[in-house]
Structure 1
Amino acid sequence: MPETFIPSGTTDVADLVKWAAAETRPLSLHGHRSKAGLGRPAQTEYALDMSRLSGILDYEPAELVLTLRPGTLVSDVEKLLGARNQMLAFEPPDYGPLWGGAAARGTIGGAIGCNLAGPRRFKAGALRDHLLGFIAVSGRGEIFKAGAKVVKNVTGYDLPKLVCGAYGTLAALTEVTLKVLPAPEKTRTVLVFGLDDARAIQALAAAAASPHEVAGLAHLPAAVAALSGVAYVARAGTGVTAVRIEGTDISVKARCEALRDLLGSFGAPLEELHSMNSAWLWREIRDAAAFALPQDRLLWRLSTAPLSGPTVTAVIAQAQPEARFFYDWAGGLVWLSLPPADDAHAALVRGAIAGNGGGHATLIRADLATRAAVPVFQPQPEALAALSRRVKDSFDPMNILNPGRMAPSAGT
């Protein structure tokens, strides 16, 4: 186990990173380690535990702006906002149970580092679209600021978008400011039963193209709908296609009626979930809960052109009949569970995507040896990889922060 430093403020972080850079001692950054299984395995002698940098610094409900420390639990933020009928519109998922960890242990800093967003992403945008500004420490040990505590800010480089999805390889965040939004008054979900994958994605595309402002579009094939946790919404042996509607009571009711007419043209039985049942279903989809067990199965997260999703999964399923999958974001996001393999079936998965419209694939769950040997993230074309390396060098020239977390580097 690496020796762990636990800073309590921005200055502490800067001092520790300066020391690490001067001594060439790489640091692995983490909060509560709820996403330690995501990315390539860390190989460092020292760790920087950011969990003590937690708490709300400023919350202005009228301005829809929240400033906090990155070690703050997402679950605590959601409770705070819920008391004011507000929310994190990007719907951060809770992936801890996917690696056998406890639920509700993810931090805001971890969500930012991984740029995590849930089923509402296609409507509300990714997390990077909601990060207004931050204070951080670079790999040189320099404290710097980016963005601002206002929604309308167009000055300077858009560094908030750059740190989202950087997995802590560019800077150690010590303060962040997020945009929040009013929570919907009512939520309902229209369910369509019995559609095959291709027909279901067509139905979701029709709902997305409608004027009814849908906020969730997912399809669970029969094999996944039958799994514990989502089985109660399913009919025996059938797939479940789900369309979420949010808004005021009158608006939601009217839009659900219109959607039932629209989706009824696909020739399948329809039902509705209201309030708590609807929220529960979308949490299951958000967290990929159907694939939390068994832990030894590989888990991939695929990004594809929505209408290509069924073709991609059909190619994979033909080669691997034990494949299980479901679709979110109207088919643009595919969760894929596969049996164990030393190569994680990477060539099969990425080849299926490349041959059917393109996209990328991230290996979400695999053992340490597999994650060290197989590219966890989609390999970049050389020109883009070279640009990524230059960005890394500009923030962290000594390669101190999370080295090798996203791609192999010297000594990893």
Structure 2
Amino acid sequence: MTTFTPETDAQVIDAVRWAVAEGQPLEIVGQGSKRGLGRPVQAAHTLDLSRLSGVVSYEPEELVLVVRPGTPMLEVEALLGSQGQCLAFEAPDYAPLWGGQAGEGTVGGLVAAGLSGPRRLKAGAARDHVLGVTAVSGRAELFRAGGKVVKNVTGYDLPKLLTGSHGTLGVMTEIVLKALPAPPLTRTLVLAGIDAAAGVKAMADAMGSPAEVASAAWVPAELPFTGIPPRTPSVLLRLEGVDVSVDARLAGLTRLLEGRAATAVLDNDESAALWEELRDATPFAQRPDLVVWRLSVTPGEGAAVLERVRQAIPGTVGWLDWAGGLVWLGIPPGDAQAGLVRGALSGNGHATLFRAPDPVRAAVPVFQPQPKPLADLSARVKAQFDPAGVLNPGRMGG
């Protein structure tokens, strides 16, 4: 087994060229904190990007950050925080969910996996904040796409294509990210004692109001969250901004939802802790016995999908994020029950097996199976970028 640890673009090109010449696939890793996501990679050799690290440039006044893929997320967040800025899509840290330590993730892993947190509702997904990339294809060719501005005309939007491709299309060597000012204040309105169906209606009304809700979630009685009364299903509505604006919008939102449930308000620190737990799926990180699924559905269907899975698989626990559009499921250990989970979608949405033992992930389609026309298109894209199949083979499909 060979491990390549490049420090330059040229060394990445050499490693991929060797893999193509020898017919030896590579597993692409940063710190390896996301090895638990996707199918186990079918490669004996490793391309370790941890030394391809560091900030290339940071222009706070332009809201642009350029980094190498092996740069730790903790370093990026500290740098942005020093200037009162952040990555608005709220990068999650799922390392503890897969048995690792918090703070192990890298920028490259985050972008390759395309992960976004609860603020996705307002700020958009990770792909919307990746302005440009430099990468090496499976042909051992260096290419650049995008730039340092939000709007550019440099051709196909390859940064969005690579975001969420799990390292199967190219090895990123430089990433351009859009930064935004960090919210100065956060408060959360809690509607306590409300079931999932009524919670989805309350979240929809809140999102349609002038309150500019940044995040909306419903949590069940069975799981503990900071600031939520024990064994009380609750809706959580996060407001961000300057204090005068937050207070005014909070008052209006409280009037709108008056009478639906008992209300409480979490202050800045308690609110931040709560949304960090939701962002990182902390309740499931604390329950390593559960098989974890992550479902993307129409927001209005979230409660119904959750209830269908609960009925089909006794012992299931879960919550709703993204105003009902993201369903987190923890099902009892053993079989992943993919047929029952995906059957609950009723043909709408997609389900990702987010955590399971390696043998289960090797046997079950981790990502939602694609209709044939879309699967054929994906195969053609893969063949263009990586014709020899040397980049993370098996990660996204058999």
TM-score, normalised with respect to structure 1: 0.95
CA distance in 1: counterparts of 2:52 and 2:141, whole angstroms:
18
1:273 correspondence with 2:266? yes
Which deviations, in whole Å up to 9, do the C-alpha atoms of 1:124-160 show, x marking residues without a partner? 1111101011111000111111111122213311000
Structure 1 residues 333-366: Cα deviation after superposition (integer angstroms, max 9, x where no partner): 0100001233x010001000025xx100000101
Which residue does 1:346 correspond to in 2?
A: 338
1:89 paired with 2:81, answer no
2:209 maps to which residue?
210
Quote the residue 2:116 is aligned against.
117
Q: Which residue of 2 aligns with 1:289?
A: 282
Structure 1 residue 241 corresponds to structure 2 residue 235: yes
Q: What CA distance in whole angstroms lies between the structure 2 residues aligned with 1:383 and 1:237?
A: 46
Residue equivalent to 2:105 = 106
Task: State the match for 2:24 in structure 1.
Answer: 25
2:138 matched residue in structure 1? 139
User: Secondary structure at 2:6's aligned position in 1?
Assistant: coil
Alignment of 1:167-246 (within 5 A): 167-224=166-223, 227=224, 230=225, 232-246=226-240
Gaps of 5+ in 1: none
Residues 72-83 of structure 1 mapped to structure 2, 5 A cutoff: 72-83=71-82
Secondary structure of the residue aligned to 1:264 is coil
Kindly indicate whether the alpha-carbon contact (under 8 Å) linking 1:296 and 1:366 is maintained by their aligned counterparts in 2.
Answer: no
TM-score normalised over the length of structure 2: 0.98
Deviation per residue, 1:295-318 (Å, 9 max, x gap): 131000001111111111111111
SS state at 1:137 partner: strand
Contact map agreement 1:193 1:269 (CA 8 A) in 2: yes
- Shift, 1:119, TM fit: 0.4
Length, aligned pairs only: 398
The residue number in structure 1 matching 2:9 is: 10
CA distance in 2 between partners of 1:112 and 1:220 (Å) = 27
- Cα deviation for residue 123 of structure 1 reads 1.0
Distance in 1 (alpha carbons) for counterparts of 2:147 and 2:248: 39
Matched letter for residue 339 of structure 2: A
What is the rounded CA distance, in whole Å, between the counterparts of 2:177 and 2:317 in structure 1?
35
Among 305, 317, 329, the residue aligned to 2:322:
329
Identity %: 55
Structure 1 window deviating more from structure 2 (320-329 vs 289-298): it is 289-298
Query: How far, CA to CA, are the matches of 1:193 and 1:6 in structure 2?
Result: 51
- Cα deviation per residue 1:269-325 (whole Å; 9 max; x = unaligned)? 111111111111000000110111331310000011111111111111112220000
For 1:275 and 1:77, locate their aligned partners in 2 and report how far apart those are by CA, in whole Å.
Answer: 23
The CA distance in 2 between the partners of 1:351 and 1:117, in whole Å, is 25
- Structure 1 distance, partners of 2:396, 2:21, is 23
Measured against aligned partners, the alpha-carbon deviations of 1:13-53 in whole angstroms (never above 9, x if no partner) come to 00110111111110000011111010000121100001111
Q: Quote the offset at 1:188 in angstroms.
A: 0.7
Contact residue 137 and residue 385 of structure 2 kept, 8 A:
yes
Aligned equivalents of 2:333 and 2:232: distance in 1? Answer: 27
Give yes or no for the alignment of 1:300 onto 2:290: no
The residue aligned with 1:312 is: 305
What corresponds to 2:383 in structure 1? 393
CA distance in 2, matches of 1:251, 1:142: 50
Contact 2:63 2:180 (C-alpha < 8 Å) held by counterparts? yes
Partner residue of 1:151? 150
Long gaps (5+) in structure 2: none
Structure 1 residue aligned with 2:357: 367
Residue 88 of structure 1 deviates from its aligned partner by 0.2
Aligned-pair distance for 1:184? 1.2
